[in-house]
Amino acid sequence: MNIKTIFPDYTLIDTGDGEKLERFGGFTMRRPEPQAIWRKTLSEQQWQASADASFMRDERSEERGEWRLKPKMPSRWHISYDYKDMHLKMRLALTSFKHVGIFPEQAANWNFIYDCCKEIGSAKVLNLFAYTGGATLAAKAAGADVTHVDSVKQVVTWSRENMEASGLDGVRWIVEDALKFVQREVRRGNRYNGIILDPPAYGRGANGEKWVLEQNITQMLECCAELLEKSNAFLVLNLYSMGLSSTLARTAVRQCFGEPKVEECGELYFEDKAGKELPLGTYYRFKR
């Protein structure tokens, strides 16, 4: 099941020719988007006039680059997201990797996490590769006991700022390699009602540990299967690597966790103003 994400403080304005034009709150970004293989709807002049910040790749790097800003563009700003009794506020900033501190398509998963935690009551949740903490905040807003794990200290600090801006507290912050952490949790015999996995294609742990999704994901899922409660539990898995399908995710998860009571998988996507649908990640999630 593909899910069209709705996020009032975010608008995908136009896509095409390897780029996307998008509004975050009161400011509009122009960024590379490899999956936008079609033509733009708006003219180049309209893109230039609309963009408050445009990301220009460094020719020496596939990942890094720099932002070209119009005078009114701030270095930091906030956006909000509301769902039922969940009211989140997150700080955005322009990074050298083209990211701004949020993946808005994940709002569909935040809703799922919030509802699961409310349904379980007093849930214990583990968020791995947690980045700036949107999923962490969703679980915390539902009253869960949340452990947030990311290997980058600056990102964990950013997450803490988002928690405070959202009027929440009490998250357990862990700066560590995610695989090492879950292996230690297995040895300790700890259990969780919810596990959220948002692994990158490639990454480095806090002490330089190497993460390659295709090589390490099965070991990670096997560990998580030992940590997740057998009932009153949920799992969310996101995959951003191009070419990895939801069928692949479903097969890998089922081998480790068994057949769940309820499962969903597909693509998360936004639709631009011309109706072009841009997929922004594969997801698999279940409840049992």
For the whole prediction, is pTM greater than 0.85? yes
Nearest to 247 by CA among 284, 200, 197, 287: 284
Same domain, 27 and 152: no
Same domain, 139 and 262: yes
Q: Which domain range does residue 255 map to? A: 104-287
Domain boundary among 76, 96, 122: 76
Count Cβ atoms below 10 Å from residue 109 Cβ, excluding itself.
Answer: 24
Per-residue b or e along 2-38, where b marks 16 or more CB atoms closer than 10 Å to that residue's CB: ebebebebbbbbbbbeebbbbbbeebbbbbebeebee
Same domain, 118 and 259: yes
Per-residue pLDDT of the chain (288 residues; tens, 9 = 90+): 999 999 999 999 999 999 999 999 999 999 999 999 999 999 999 999 999 999 998 766 667 889 999 999 999 999 999 999 999 999 999 999 999 999 999 999 999 999 999 999 999 999 999 999 999 999 999 999 999 999 999 999 999 999 999 999 999 999 999 999 999 999 999 999 999 999 988 888 878 888 888 899 999 999 999 999 999 999 999 998 666 899 999 999 999 999 999 999 999 999 999 999 999 999 999 999
Structure tokens, 263: 């499962």
Gap between the Cα atoms of 263 and 283, Å rounded: 11
CATH code, domain carrying 157? 3.40.50.150
Gap between the Cα atoms of 218 and 154, Å rounded: 28
Q: Look at the chain and report how many structural domains it folds into.
A: 2
CATH code, domain carrying 25? 2.60.40.1180
Q: What is the DSSP string of 196-208?
A: EE---SEEE-TTS
Same domain, 108 and 43: no
Residues β-bridged to residue 22: 12, 29
Does some domain include residue 169? yes
